[in-house]
Amino acid sequence: MELGERTLGISRRELLRRASAAVAVGAMGKLAFGEAAIEASSAAAKAGGAFPEKFLWGCATAAYQVEGNDTNTDLWMLEYLPGSMFKDHSGDACNHYHLYPQDIAMLADLGFNTYRFSLEWARIEPEEGFFSNAELDHYRRMLAVCHEHGLTTLLTYSHFSMPRWFAMKGGWENPQAADLFARFCEKATRHLGDLVDYASTLNEPDIPQLLNWLDLPGVAAGMTVAQMMQAGLANVRKQVNAPQFSNFFMGDGKRNREGLLAAHAKGRDAMKSVRPAMPVGFNLAMQDDQAAPEGSHLEEKRADVYGPWLEAARHCDYLGVQTYSRSLVGTKDLPPPKGAELTQTGMEFYPECVEHVVRYAAKETGVPIIVTENGIATEDDTRRVAYYQQALAGVKRAIDDGVDVRGYVAWSLMDNFEWMSGYTPKFGLVAVDLKTQRRTIKPSATVLGNIARRNAL
Ligand code: BGC
């Protein structure tokens, strides 16, 4: 009897039965496609050869996007401000905080061997200096359930959201931020570290700087995303009556970068001081940057956005890379080429990005690479299958050429709260009915899970 079963009150067999029923329901009219895709995959397996032994095959989530009711965070507060830039309220999200036993069992039953998820710092340290053993125990149970299902655990200590008190004091721009984060890392590692296979200090700490380069739909002409965010910051500071307020998305890119670099270094040292053997890295957001035909600032962008982080990665045990598409770099990122197929988040459908990015990241850092996020936002699951198959073919080519890639983690296990864009973009392998919390397995989950099980395309 496993903890997952006890907590759920249903057997593994029943869970599987419900899951297959869900596939049948969820894939109505698409089942034929699902089967065809599975067959095509098996044929490719025979032709393509296996991935390395012990390759990590996983799915990822992040606390704020799936747990629900992360009320002590900066983001929850921002969601409820008048004129909020959040399209939806996160609310109960996927209620993963309570439903994790069945979600983790589902992931394992699909064929994956790895789960990447994150801690919600604001739950563990809801007030500065108070560490909740009850909440630490919650994450300990999550890690334990993973191990009961034979899963490797990738634990991210901070994935964008932060405790409200931390944001009120200036977030990552606060000169004490690194020490405050390191104390949290030390406490969490003491409580959880023996169950963590790969720890990550920070998710995509290069985003604040990357926002200076992005051109996204919905941003006023001539403005960068960073400028738009900062325009909102002055107002938020008044609304929350905190002149220092800053957070991951809204702060000054360069000051945030300094704070995040220091937080990573001190956080890493704190983790290592408790568990020297625990592999520690972080997850870098990387676009497949390509030079625009004229006037490209490609190298300047790389140095600005990734440079200090690639340097930090050289002192890590591994680097997690996260990529979704390419960008053509002019003076800033240019919009996708005319006529390109776009995903729900306005990105170009470009699965080749993974191969290019792992080659680049491995060459620049010399440390083992794990793809810790890759995926596509679409309502059309056939495109998700195509995306994953092409992405993985590229990863395999890189591995065959000697690039040290240790794993591939899909974003995301479930459709979830996509930050400011709310619940519209569908990145999940599994659909979630937000009213009933019913999970429906999509054909792409079966296809990817079978690739994982076979360890071959
Ligand atoms: C983030 C995820 C996000 C995903 C898709 C990554 O930048 O780590 O939290 O949901 O991209 O946009």
Q: pLDDT digit string (tens) for 130-171?
A: 999 999 999 999 999 999 999 999 999 999 999 999 999 999
Q: What angle do CA 113, 144, 375 make, to 5 degrees?
A: 35
Instruction: Quote the tokens at residue 150.
Output: 């034979």
Which of the four pLDDT bands, split at 50, 70 and 90, describes residue 22?
very low
Choice from 200, 201, 249, 411 to test ligand 1 binding pocket (greatest atom count within 8 A of CB): 411
* CA nearest to 200, candidates 305, 322, 71: 322
Choice from 373, 374, 384 to test ligand 1 binding pocket (greatest atom count within 8 A of CB): 373
Instruction: Quote the tokens at residue 195.
Output: 């169950």
Q: Is residue 2 in some structural domain?
A: no
Q: What is residue 217's predicted lDDT score, i.e. its pLDDT?
A: 67
Tell whether ligand 1 has an atom less than 6 A from the beta carbon of residue 387.
Answer: no
Tell whether ligand 1 has an atom less than 6 A from the beta carbon of residue 206.
Answer: no
Tell whether ligand 1 has an atom less than 6 A from the beta carbon of residue 411.
Answer: yes
Mapped onto helix, strand or coil, the DSSP state of residue 35 is helix
How remote is the CA of residue 412 from the centroid of ligand 1, in Å? Answer: 9
Q: Which CATH number does the domain housing residue 372 bear?
A: 3.20.20.80
Containing structural domain, residue 358 = 52-454
Instruction: Quote the tokens at residue 127.
Output: 């007030």
Q: Is residue 17 in some structural domain?
A: no
Spatial contact of 199 and 279, defined as CB atoms under 8 Å apart: yes
Q: pLDDT digit string (tens) for 368-406?
A: 999 999 999 999 999 999 999 999 999 999 999 999 999
Query: 402-406 long-range contacts, Cβ below 8 Å, gap at least 24?
Result: 403/358, 403/359, 403/362, 403/369, 404/362, 404/367, 404/368, 404/369, 405/358, 405/362, 405/368, 405/369, 405/370, 405/371, 406/52, 406/55, 406/56, 406/318, 406/368, 406/369, 406/370
Q: pLDDT digit string (tens) for 255-289?
A: 999 999 999 999 999 999 999 999 999 999 999 99
Q: Is residue 113 in some structural domain?
A: yes
Q: Is residue 34 in some structural domain?
A: no
Domain tally, the chain:
1
Choice from 354, 418, 424, 429 to test ligand 1 binding pocket (greatest atom count within 8 A of CB): 418
Task: Give the largest CA-CA distance in the chain.
Answer: 63
Q: Is residue 5 in some structural domain?
A: no
Q: Which strand (E) or helix (H) includes residue 20?
A: helix 12-26
Q: Is residue 210 in some structural domain?
A: yes
